[in-house]
């Protein structure tokens, strides 16, 4: 019996390779430790959602090595294949559908407080939309945090470039042309890439009562960083409770 699949794209939390834009404020080791917290929270949230929804969880890692301690028990582990991000996503979707999934969505690990309800809405959109369904979750910087498909769509990825402010709009246009109908667009969220994003994340742990519960590893790590960088990370935003 076919089932939907949740795909998580991740990289190993190696200093100097993970969250490098945060080294405008943090050390490379601190940025990597923070990213490991992002990983743990994202994977825990997706594993819990997969269990609730009867979905499989597939973890696709970049690079040749992956720390086994970070793989959820319920997840299958795969290595990303392809020359660029578009090629790697296309390959992951192809492999996932070849393994029997009837719907699949991919998300990353740059948004540790992303509400699981957004991902659940993506699954519902794919289930209800039939063979041609596509869903997209936009980020405030012009990218996307989630892409969901019900079949391989290589036209979404061929020749596509990423890490710019038009990624979401270009992907939306391609998906509309390929599917013949506009994708379901989920609520907007934000990535944590730069110090200003980290400050916003810290504030969320103070202002949003559900945020620490959604991302406990990240919350603890941010609170520790706030003690090291009190002028940048405003301790009241992370020391409440």
Q: Where are the domains of the chain?
A: 4-185, 195-239
- Which helix (H) or strand (E) element contains residue 171? helix 167-179
More confidently predicted of 130 and 193: 193
Neighbours of 150 (CB within 10 A): 23
CATH 1.10.3720.10 fits 4-185, yes or no: no
Per-residue pLDDT, averaged over 149-170, amounts to 95
Q: 215-233: per-residue pLDDT in tens?
A: 999 999 999 999 999 888 8
Alpha-carbon span 93 to 215, nearest angstrom: 27
Query: What is the per-residue pLDDT for 171?
Result: 97
| Phi-psi category of residue 117: left, alpha or beta, with phi > 0 → left and psi -120 to 50 → alpha | alpha
Kindly tell me if the per-residue pLDDT of 1 is higher than 80. Answer: no
* Average of per-residue pLDDT values in the chain: 93
User: What share of the chain has pLDDT > 90, as a percent?
Assistant: 83
User: What share of the chain has pLDDT > 70, as a percent?
Assistant: 96
Query: What is the per-residue pLDDT for 233?
Result: 85
Confidence of residue 191 (pLDDT cuts 50, 70, 90): very high
pTM over 0.75: yes
Q: What is the DSSP letter of 54?
A: T
């Amino acid at each position: 019996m076919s089932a939907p699949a949740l795909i998580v794209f991740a990289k190993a939390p190696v200093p100097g390779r993970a969250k490098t834009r945060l080294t405008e404020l943090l050390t490379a080791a601190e940025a990597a430790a923070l990213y490991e917290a992002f990983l743990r929270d994202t994977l825990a949230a997706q594993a819990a959602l997969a269990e609730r929804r009867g979905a499989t969880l597939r973890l696709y890692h970049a690079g040749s090595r992956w720390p086994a301690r970070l793989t959820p028990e319920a997840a299958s582990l795969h290595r990303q294949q392809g020359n660029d991000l578009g090629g790697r996503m296309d390959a992951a979707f192809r492999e996932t559908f070849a393994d029997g999934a009837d719907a699949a969505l991919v998300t990353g690990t740059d948004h540790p407080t992303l509400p699981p309800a957004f991902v659940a809405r993506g699954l519902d959109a794919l289930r209800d939309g039939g063979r041609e369904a596509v869903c997209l979750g936009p980020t405030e910087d012009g990218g996307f945090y989630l892409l969901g498909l019900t079949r391989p769509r290589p036209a979404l990825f061929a020749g596509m470039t990423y890490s710019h402010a038009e990624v979401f709009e270009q992907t939306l246009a391609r998906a509309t042309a390929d599917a013949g109908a506009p994708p379901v667009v989920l609520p907007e969220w934000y990535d944590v890439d730069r110090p200003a994003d980290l400050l916003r994340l810290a504030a969320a742990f103070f202002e949003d009562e559900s945020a620490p519960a959604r991302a406990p590893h990240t919350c603890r790590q941010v609170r520790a960083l706030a003690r090291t960088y009190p002028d940048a990370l405003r301790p009241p935003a992370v020391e409440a409770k």
